Structure 1
Amino acid sequence: MANPDDYHAYSVREEQRRAADEVERRREEREHQEEHRRRDAAAWRCREGGRKVYPDDDVRGTKAVPGGLCDICRHRAEEQAAAEVDARLDGPLGWIRALRSGGR
C-alpha cells in the first residue's frame, strides 16, 4: 500500500501544481496580449502632437474624443483659450480693472 505522504506522492502533486500554474500564467499572458491588441487597434494619432491617443486615456478626468487631440494638446489648447479670454477681458486698460477688483 502506498503512503500518500511519501516523497513520490509529494513530487507528483508539486508537478501538477507547477503545470497548473504554468497554464494559468500562459492564459493571463494571452489575455494581456489580446487586451493590448484591442487597445492599440482603437488608438489614433493626435492631429497636433502626433502622439498615440487611446480612447480610455483619462489623465485629467476627460475622455478623449475619437480622432481628436491627445490629453497634452487638449490641455494646451484649453490654456491658450483661457489666456485669450483673459487678454480680451483685460484689454489695454486691464491693469486698472485688476487693481479695482483687488488684483488677480
Structure 2
Amino acid sequence: MHLLTEGKIPKSVLASINNSKKDDTIWIGMLYLADRKVVDALKFAAERKVNIRIILDPNQNSFGNKKAGLPNIPVAAELMRLHNSHLKIKWYNTGEEQFLTKMMMV
C-alpha cells in the first residue's frame, strides 16, 4: 500500500492502471471519474482482460441540491458501450449525501 500526496497521485494512478496485466483486478470507488487519461487507460486495461470494478456516485444530488449527473453518468455510459465483460460499474445508493470516496486498489 502507498500513501501519496496530491502531486504524485495522477502519475501513480496512471502507472498502476497501465502496468496492470491480464487477470489483475482494479477496484475503484470514486466521487468523480472524469480524467480523460484515466478513462482511456481503463478502456485499454479492460481490453487487456484486466478485471475492473467501479463504484461511482451518480452525481444527481449534493446535500439536497439536484445535479445533472456529471461527469459520472456520461463516463459510465461511455465505458459500458465497450460491452467488455471485464468492466463492471455499480452506482452507490446516495440519499442527500455524496459517495465522497476517492480510492483505487490494484
Q: Which TM-score tier does this pair reach, normalised by the shorter chain?
A: under 0.3
- The answer to which structure, 1 or 2, has the higher relative contact order (CA under 8 A, 6+ apart) is 2
TM-score normalised according to structure 2 size? 0.18
Higher strand share: 2
